[in-house]
Structure 1
């Protein structure tokens, strides 16, 4: 193998460090030269220490400014032309589309990972935006060596939209490192600590969770709701701060390492409206914690309902409250068992080693 250069295109350093580190380490150990293009973040220095070559790029993950996005395409074009990698690995929407387009134009093999479709293909999304994205996906991914999907529904959506590549495969999300998120004994707290981890925003179900927290804490004085994450929504931030000051919730802000918080939890809740595959549910279940989540693609695959956790109807506050109250009234012995069964499922079906193996197979098969 003459060319052993691999280029990762991501929209955030966390995307690669938290969820693809094992793949990066494997590639480096196999003698590959690993390049990473990402906006600057606190995890980048750790990746450089591992031996990665870093290329900074400015990117607004959620922005729709066409002029800024044209700059991304230009930077990708220059970068790919300079590195001439054996393969480009793309993750998340903008790197998938723009990185795929540039790789196709330069005839560089590329592998695409659909980490989720965001809100763009929901029934309430703009038909114009949906049409533009469909067109961009079609031209960008047509020559992808493989599209990796994280849930079956996303794969079926692409089939329906007639977006195809040379081949596609279904992965167990990003997988979970079951050694890093090792089993921890279930806590014997007097209080029931309910944790939420992730971005605080409407699409993640934060408004429903806050309303449910207010209702549940008024009824149960031994229940504590913890929020760990960050908000880019000024209105939502003010509501969270107000509820924190009123002792309705405990807001921990953004944390780089959530492991200790998962260990402290009695249950982890994920009220998202849509997901690719929920990493935090994988990590919580791997640690031996029951999980409560929306009955949606990207969450329901992780949970054996009423065995390892509880599913509820998305965007439905009453259904969320019922699920929370059901869990609160479960004896600790059964909660402990739910956590152990969840851990077993993660080892059996969601090990990150499965994902690394699939990627390496594709990389080694590129001519």
Structure 2
């Protein structure tokens, strides 16, 4: 089957990693897959997913649309590419790809158009535009039950056209990676670190970390906080970090591999105000680490096996600090919950399982019927 996978951009991220693994899995099973990025090729240091796709001989095309003013040009270019490739099905990922990619696929005569909703972001204008795209989709894949409910209520999607296929994670890689050495970052080797990985953006609830820094990393203790990520708030966060001191908290920019940092940390902290199904939580769970997350879309489902002590109400920084301190104070508890998390990932969120679910959906939508499972 010819399949077009369309995404906003290919900078490393949760949706982008999902697309990469899906494209590779489908290609290895005999499908003819092409990847289309509406944006430009990422900077060279951020091409790890592109290199992985190239290694598996998955073709990629770039629309070069890095601003709103270039969207219509990218849509025309994508329409021509899709018309030439003539896929049986086009799957879009993320908001901009859902809007631009769906209309381009429709104009190119692609019979089956599948959307991908990956975050429950209830911005009125954004939802209004995405509703128009949803009407042109035969099916919409949501990454969690919470996102499915969001799509039904906020995007007016018919329940019968909504499917839930969670993200997946490479459990072997995250469970076997070697931990980072804190000495390389100016901290004692025995530092007990709370790790945050994500965008420096208001969505991520960074204000709660600022409010509770004296409990997360008390002055004079061996407890530290490491932030990894970039974004619009990075300058503001860096100024605050300087006022607190690098002996207590640091920020790293984008890094090619967060696995060693997760492995070296006591726990992952993600106090987001909204999500879809955060990959970094899955990666921490696969690493055998406990997590402390706000109880938002996706996290409730990931942590359904052990929500007590790992979830707190969004914005409640006191409850967040209580949960973090519980793991900082008790290493045995951290290891026990981390093992439960790792088992959950291995059993329910393996990459072959995710690929099988997509392939089964695609076959049912195109009428090609069942085909051999990639995990079987």
Give the TM bin, normalised by the shorter chain.
Answer: 0.7 to 0.9
Q: TM-score, normalised by structure 2?
A: 0.83
Cα 1:164–1:236, aligned 2, differ >3 Å: closer, same or farther?
A: farther
SS at match of 1:28: helix
SS at match of 1:195: strand
Structure 1 unaligned regions, length at least 5: none
Structure 2 unaligned regions, length at least 5: 181-188, 368-376
Mapped to 2, the partners of 1:26 and 1:203 lie a distance apart of 32
Mapped to 2, the partners of 1:240 and 1:56 lie a distance apart of 38
Mapped to 1, the partners of 2:264 and 2:308 lie a distance apart of 18
Mapped to 1, the partners of 2:160 and 2:133 lie a distance apart of 12
Cα 1:234–1:186, aligned 2, differ >3 Å: closer, same or farther?
A: closer
**Do the aligned residues in 2 keep the contact of 1:146 with 1:169 (CA within 8 Å)?**
yes
- Post-superposition offset of 1:337: 0.9
Residue number in structure 1 paired with 2:6: 9
Are 1:27 and 2:32 an aligned pair?
no
Residue number in structure 2 paired with 1:341: 340
- Post-superposition offset of 1:280: 0.5
Cα RMSD over matched residues? 2.7
Mapped to 2, the partners of 1:321 and 1:353 lie a distance apart of 36
Residue number in structure 1 paired with 2:115: 112
Residue number in structure 1 paired with 2:140: 147
Mapped to 1, the partners of 2:248 and 2:107 lie a distance apart of 54
**Do the aligned residues in 2 keep the contact of 1:274 with 1:298 (CA within 8 Å)?**
no
Residue number in structure 1 paired with 2:17: 18
Query: For this pair of structures, how many residues does the alignment match?
Result: 348
Cα 1:256–1:246, aligned 2, differ >3 Å: closer, same or farther?
A: closer
- Post-superposition offset of 1:248: 2.8
| Residues 1-367 of structure 1: pairs in structure 2 closer than 5 A | 4-13=1-10, 14-15=12-13, 18-38=17-37, 39-41=40-42, 42-43=47-48, 44-60=50-66, 65=68, 67-108=69-110, 109-118=112-121, 121=122, 125=123, 130=124, 132-161=125-154, 162-164=156-158, 167-172=161-166, 174-182=167-175, 190-218=190-218, 221-233=221-233, 235-239=235-239, 242-243=242-243, 245-304=245-304, 310-330=310-330, 332-365=331-364, 366-367=366-367
- Post-superposition offset of 1:186: 9.9
Q: TM-score, normalised by structure 1?
A: 0.85
Instruction: Show CA shifts across 1:286-340 (max 9, x none).
Output: 110011100111212222586685211212222222222222222x222111111
Cα 1:220–1:305, aligned 2, differ >3 Å: closer, same or farther?
A: farther
